[in-house]
């Protein structure tokens, strides 16, 4: 399946410092002709940070995708029964969302979307972005890595000197990881 024929759920969680780079990757997918449906975590919709206001970011993503997106748990639930997505991407994926996902917690629109989508036996792509990826969350990343239908955007340490536990996905590899995951293959090398 080509990206231009895909319905891609693009779920965004609160790694606010990556938002500019994420918008660029969403644009790449839209330019390739994909139908991109944004899904926002509750914190992304409500927290204003030094990287900008929640409202401005959500509006901008809606504009780029030309899609109102999914903002609530009830809006995310039909992804399961109606098989709305060919692939779901969580990018950036926080340590918080990784911890919850790996433990079966479903208390945000993003986590509901993931649960609903995985029940359809379809690919979920995760782009890690967390200061504690090599800390307490390392075990949770490991749990997800061995789960069926879960793929990772290749990732690595971003600043081992000042943030030794931090890891981030190489965001420009998002489109390639999606294409690979749609064919049931993890893009390699996974650690960069
Ligand atoms: C300015 C700012 C930047 C943050 N950056 C990150 C980050 O890069 N990675 C991360 O895992 N959490 C980060 N956090 C913490 C998350 O936003 C927080 O854990 C939140 O509960 C995540 O919720 P969500 O996963 O449902 O979006 C940041 C918080 C703030 C205020």
What residue owns the CA closest to ligand 1's atom 5?
15
Kindly report, residue by residue over 136-179, the tens digit of the pLDDT: 999 999 999 999 999 999 999 999 999 999 999 999 999 999 99
What percent of the chain is predicted at pLDDT more than 70?
Answer: 100
**Ligand 1 center–CA 15 separation, angstroms:** 5
CATH of domain 3-182: 3.40.50.1950
**Ligand 1 center–CA 167 separation, angstroms:** 13
Global pTM exceeds 0.95: yes
**In ligand 1, which atom is closest to the CA atom of 111?**
26
- If one residue of 96, 113, 159 were mutated to test the ligand 1 pocket, choosing by the most ligand atoms within 8 A of its CB, it would be 96
Confidence class for position 6, pLDDT limits 50, 70, 90: very high
Contact predicate 126/153, CB 8 Å: yes
Q: Which two tokens stand for residue 164?
A: 């030794």
Kindly report, residue by residue over 54-73, the tens digit of the pLDDT: 999 999 999 999 999 999 99
* Cα–Cα distance measured from residue 8 to residue 159, given in angstroms and rounded to the nearest whole number: 31
Residues recorded for the chain:
192
Kindly report, residue by residue over 89-141, the tens digit of the pLDDT: 999 999 999 999 999 999 999 999 999 999 999 999 999 999 999 999 999 99
Whether residue 22 has pLDDT greater than 90: yes
Mean residue pLDDT across the chain: 98
What residue owns the CA closest to ligand 1's atom 3?
16
What residue owns the CA closest to ligand 1's atom 25?
97
Whether residue 1 has pLDDT greater than 90: no
Helix (H) or strand (E) holding 117: helix 109-118
* Cα–Cα distance measured from residue 137 to residue 134, given in angstroms and rounded to the nearest whole number: 6
Identify the residues whose C-beta falls under 6 Å from ligand 1.
Answer: 13-17, 41, 43-44, 49-51, 94-97, 108, 129-131
Angle ∠(188,10,134) on CA atoms, nearest 5: 50
- If one residue of 38, 94, 141 were mutated to test the ligand 1 pocket, choosing by the most ligand atoms within 8 A of its CB, it would be 94
Helix, coil or strand: residue 26: helix
Confidence class for position 82, pLDDT limits 50, 70, 90: very high
183 Cβ partners below 8 Å, 6+ apart? none
- If one residue of 10, 13, 15, 71 were mutated to test the ligand 1 pocket, choosing by the most ligand atoms within 8 A of its CB, it would be 15
Check residue 172 and give its pLDDT.
Answer: 98
**Ligand 1 center–CA 47 separation, angstroms:** 10
Residue 49, Ramachandran bin (φ over 0: left; ψ between -120 and 50: alpha; else beta): beta
């Amino acid at each position: 399946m080509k990206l231009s024929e895909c319905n891609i759920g693009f779920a965004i969680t609160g790694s606010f410092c990556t938002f500019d780079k994420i918008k660029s990757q969403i644009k790449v997918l839209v330019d390739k002709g994909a139908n991109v449906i944004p899904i926002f975590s509750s914190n992304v919709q409500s927290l204003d940070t030094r990287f900008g206001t929640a409202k401005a970011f959500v509006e901008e993503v809606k504009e780029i995708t030309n899609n109102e997106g999914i903002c609530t748990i009830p809006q995310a639930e039909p992804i399961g029964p109606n098989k709305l997505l060919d692939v779901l991407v969580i990018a950036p994926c926080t340590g918080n969302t990784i911890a919850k996902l790996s433990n079966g917690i479903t208390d945000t629109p993003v986590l509901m979307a993931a649960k609903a989508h995985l029940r359809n036996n379809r690919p979920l792509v995760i782009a890690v972005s967390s200061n504690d990826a090599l800390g307490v969350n390392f075990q949770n990343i490991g749990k997800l890595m061995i789960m069926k239908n879960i793929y990772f955007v290749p990732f690595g340490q971003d600043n081992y000197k000042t943030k030794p536990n931090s890891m981030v996905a190489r965001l420009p590899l998002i489109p390639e990881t999606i294409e690979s995951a749609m064919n049931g293959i993890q893009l390699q090398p996974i650690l960069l």
